[in-house]
Amino acid sequence: MKRISVVCVLAILVMICAASAPAATVFSSRAAWDGQVSGITTLDFNALEGNVYQTLTLGSVTFDVPDYSGSAALWVSVPGNYTPIDIALVGNQPMTTVRGTFSPATTAVGADVSNLSVNDLIDIGVDINGVWSQWQVSYTYPTPFFWGIVGAPGESIDGITFSPTTSNYVGIDNFSYGTAGSSGVPEPASCLLLGTGLIGLAFAARRRKR
């Protein structure tokens, strides 16, 4: 009977740890994202208005356009050209992707996003621990939306991409990154401590029955 009790306790522990496996959290509110992130760096691109780039490195992030090698792959828009965002970092060719790559990796990233002239479904990809995950967000012209992600404990973010799927150009502004705060997800050490406590309680209960 003692072995059965220990097995049951261990089974419960496995279920608890499986249910609490780390998973990144996605945010549609900048205020909510800000509340989970510390040491935030925000890039508004305003000082770069009108410039074009093949790649652009600001702080810990390098922006480029995958599979496009032209010297004007990226453009920082100017006020009056597009309604959604006056000054934004834009993929300077139709239907191209804007990518940000981090060095060192970050644990939280977010940005204001828009298609610069039409309703669209924006594809957003995030490289988490070397594995790309994809989200698709519905966008209604001309209002930009915020999209952010915060990694769970043990997760790092190496890159992020923004792609239009309907037509035209994707633009990003107020691109922010920082350090993820506590998500309240039990880490492996916490699960081990919990399991040790549960096993101890099981043995104590059996002793009291004797």
Which pair of structure tokens corresponds to residue 102?
A: 């981090």
User: What pLDDT shows up at residue 178?
Assistant: 98
Q: 3-state class of 114 per DSSP?
A: strand
Cα distances (angstroms) measured from residue 205 to each of 2, 12, 28, 46, 201: 11, 17, 48, 66, 6
Residue 76, amino acid: V
* CA-based torsion, 12, 13, 18, 21: positive or negative: positive
Residue carrying the six token digits 């549960």: 198
User: What pLDDT shows up at residue 80?
Assistant: 80
Band of residue 180 on the pLDDT scale cut at 50, 70, 90 = very high
pLDDT over 80 (residue 173):
yes
pLDDT in tens, 37-91: 999 999 999 999 999 999 999 999 999 999 898 899 999 999 887 778 889 999 9
Interval 185-204 mean pLDDT: 40
Which pair of structure tokens corresponds to residue 207?
A: 């002793």
User: What pLDDT shows up at residue 82?
Assistant: 72
Cα distances (angstroms) measured from residue 191 to each of 56, 129, 195, 203: 43, 22, 6, 19
User: What pLDDT shows up at residue 104?
Assistant: 97
Higher pLDDT: 205 or 96? It is 96
User: What pLDDT shows up at residue 164?
Assistant: 97
pLDDT over 70 (residue 200):
no
Q: Report the side by side order of strands in the sheet with 131-139.
A: 56-58, 61-64, 98-106, 157-163, 120-128, 131-139
In this prediction, what percent of the chain has a pLDDT beyond 90?
A: 68
pLDDT over 50 (residue 199):
no
Distance CA 42, CA 40 (A): 6
Whether omega for the bond prior to residue 104 falls within 30 degrees of 0, making it cis, is: yes
Distance CA 41, CA 25 (A): 19
The secondary structure of residue 186, as a DSSP letter, is P
Q: Specify the fold of 22-183.
A: Jelly Rolls (2.60.120)
**Closest to 29 measured CA to CA, from 128, 110, 106, 123:** 110
User: What pLDDT shows up at residue 181?
Assistant: 85
In this prediction, what percent of the chain has a pLDDT beyond 70?
A: 75
Interval 26-46 mean pLDDT: 97
Interval 106-116 mean pLDDT: 96
pLDDT in tens, 122-155: 999 999 999 999 999 999 999 999 999 999 999 9
